[in-house]
Structure 1
Amino acid sequence: MTRFQLLKSIPLDELVTSVRRVPLVQKAPDGSDILVYKDANISLHSLKPEEVNPTTFYLIKRGLQLQRDLRTYLMGEHGIDSLNLDGALEISNSEGEIWTLTPPIIELAHREVAFIPGQGEIRYGSTFGVEIPIINDGAHRVQVARERGTKFTGLVISGIPREHPFYAHPNSWDLVRVVDETPKTKAEKKLYLREDCYALYRDFGVLGCGKPRHLGK
């Protein structure tokens, strides 16, 4: 098991302030950061895993084990459940890496959908706008909650400008597989929204909890 050390706790109000500073990888025309969460609604909610939608076709096996081991450490040494954080944690491991553990981040993503009628159902020719709860960050922890049949606490973000949608569509849990390595092709990874998908990527690297993607990759 990887050895961990809890360095400090970060209160919710400080975490929310930091989240509001998360930029897109894409810059504004004048070169400034695009802060998609600046004026969003951000709050904690207790959720069932089946109430949120993944935006990935894969989870990494070692990532799942890391989250299981980290939860065991935090529960045993500090009485903290990593599935139900009330703020964020700064953690280090035996390799000297330091990162910030936030609650899983859930976006309410606006999508225009069409309803495909089943037998005997009414057909509608129009599309309809819906808000779909998607997992932006923290899918491995949500999967741990699924394994344990328990709820988790998510940081839910709504009111995001529609001109900056999440960079992938939601998919169902039954399409998610656990793999040893990251798949090589985009088609194996996600239902990407557009070709330059990472322009819409939210760079949580500013929080210390993720590595930014780069345009064109």
Structure 2
Amino acid sequence: MTSALPSLTTIGFDADDTLWQNEQFFRMTEEHFAELLADHGEAEQLKSRLLEAEKRNLGTYGFGIKGFTLSMIETAIEVTEGQVPASVIEKILAAGREMLSHPIETLPHVHDTLEALAGRYRLVLITKGDLFDQERKLAQSGLGDFFNAVEIVSDKSRPTYERIFSSHGDGPARSMMIGNSLKSDVVPAIEAGSWGVYIPHDLTWAYEHVDEPTAAARFRKLQHLGELSKLLKNLD
């Protein structure tokens, strides 16, 4: 005799590039950064140096636009051997400010899906990054009322999901996490005992790339958020 799976009561959602566009603004700014420093290296080389700086600085600055901007400045200083003009630093800072004020564009199926699930499940927004910026994006998105709780965390790991789904739900076993990052949203949620639903985005930061956990019983992959209701029906 096999025991039935525990019923799902809580659903966590990633924010950036799951509910609204985000990575495209980093890519656009990255291109601008490479143009500003074109005299000091090929575009791909400059982007690679920037990525190295971002990874190196995560423990100090965390995730988000402010850390990205500081990493751009640091890379500019490195590749110019300390000779970067003040005018270039000024343009990098301006690019960072522009990112922080960019209008929020929600992704397809987001509003309808959240509206359909609100009241049926406990919905929790679980996002990492700068507190001020994430709060701004949530407010501008108009999605805040759909969520029973919002957690803005410094990073996402197995303990993160164990804590959140125990605090805001009935534990990881009765919870599901949905996001575009295998590394941050899916794999650690599955490790915590939750369902992990991967919804790929056309643009995903290189730091977030890991292999799909296809052997995991609680791993699912959808093409877009509009397929979630069907998945939930099949799990019931």
TM superposition score normalised by structure 2: 0.30
- More strand by proportion, 1 or 2? 1
Which structure carries more helix by proportion? 2
Which protein has greater RCO, CA pairs closer than 8 Å, 6+ apart? 1
